[in-house]
Amino acid sequence: MTNALTCDGLRYSFGDTLAVAGLDLSVTQGEIFGLLGPNGAGKTTAIRCVTTLLPVQPGMVRVFDRDAAEDRMAVRRLLGYVPQQLSADARLTGRENVSLFARVFDIPRRERAARVEQALEAVGLTDVADRMAATFSGGMIRRLELAQALVSAPRLLMLDEPTIGLDPIARTSVWEHIQAVRAATGMTVLVTTHYMDEADQYCDRVALMHQGLIRAMGAPGELTAELRERRGDGSAPTLEDVFREVAGSGLDEEGGKFRDVRRTRNTARRLG
């Protein structure tokens, strides 16, 4: 079966900073795959390379067997992307925001209204679709952004820190909608997060990324079981413990550079 996404030695530098240092990754069709790591690990840069927003060399990124360097437009048509920074317009209603994306994606006029309704329904926003987005809670805004991405019926949906800054109830709701959409459509989902507990609960497989490289990859249960075996002391390690072992530090101590933390905090503040 064709992989939804293959990265083969993906590298990307900003000047002297090697943000992604040779990433090898395969995401199977239909899975929810988590790219995990602290601020500054290179997750967003890797995602931007896949979306074709950052240029890559031929052979480094393939989406459903289309090369991101050689077949950029075909790759873009297969993708949905919800960036970490907010992308909904507060002065438009929920429905207007999704309609705007339907026009941007060039969905034929006669299908547009139905596709917008489907997308709003998929994220549970039908009843509030005529309210201004400015009145939405942080969790509702995240779900609205999910609807914006879903309206084009992408085959690979990429979400950058979809639950950052949300309260636990809103986080659960965002994840449940992601799972429901996957179940209904068979869509593949690639999600970045630094919340290990969420990844453990909702992702089929995860890759733990640190300083531009993947340090461990597998189903969360497999990774923790392997560590339990290595330790052999009967303790029940978490994914956070696996990360600590492969990266030499926990996520909290890691911290990231000032600009990475500032960006995360800005997103969290605007949603909170």
Ligand X SMILES: Nc1ncnc2c1ncn2[C@@H]1O[C@H](COP(=O)(O)OP(=O)(O)OP(=O)(O)O)[C@@H](O)[C@H]1O
Q: How far is the CB of 261 from ligand X (least distance, A)?
A: 7
Binding segment (CB under 6 A) for ligand X, from list 148-156, 216-224, 236-244, 258-266: 258-266
Residue of 6, 36, 45, 166 interacting with ligand X (CB under 6 A): 45
Q: How far is the CB of 99 from ligand X (least distance, A)?
A: 29
Binding segment (CB under 6 A) for ligand X, from list 101-109, 118-126, 150-158, 251-259: 251-259
Q: How far is the CB of 42 from ligand X (least distance, A)?
A: 4
List the interface residues with ligand X, window 182-211 (CB under 6 A). 194
Q: Is 14 in the site for ligand X (CB under 6 A)?
A: yes
Q: Is 34 in the site for ligand X (CB under 6 A)?
A: no
Contact 134, 91 (CB under 8 A): yes
Nearer to ligand X, 39 or 97 (CB): 39
Nearest-angstrom CA–CA distance, 17 and 196:
26
Alpha-carbon Rg for the chain, nearest whole angstrom, is 18
Question: Which pairing describes strands 79-82 and 156-160: parallel, antiparallel, or unpaired?
Answer: parallel
Nearer to ligand X, 2 or 85 (CB): 85
Q: Is 39 in the site for ligand X (CB under 6 A)?
A: yes
Nearest-angstrom CA–CA distance, 59 and 6:
9
Q: Is 260 in the site for ligand X (CB under 6 A)?
A: yes
List the interface residues with ligand X, window 103-142 (CB under 6 A). none
Q: How far is the CB of 260 from ligand X (least distance, A)?
A: 3
Q: CA angle, 51 as apex, 46 and 54 as ends, to 5°?
A: 65
Instruction: Return residues touching ligand X (CB under 6 A).
Output: 14, 17, 19, 37, 39-45, 84, 194, 256-257, 259-260, 263-264
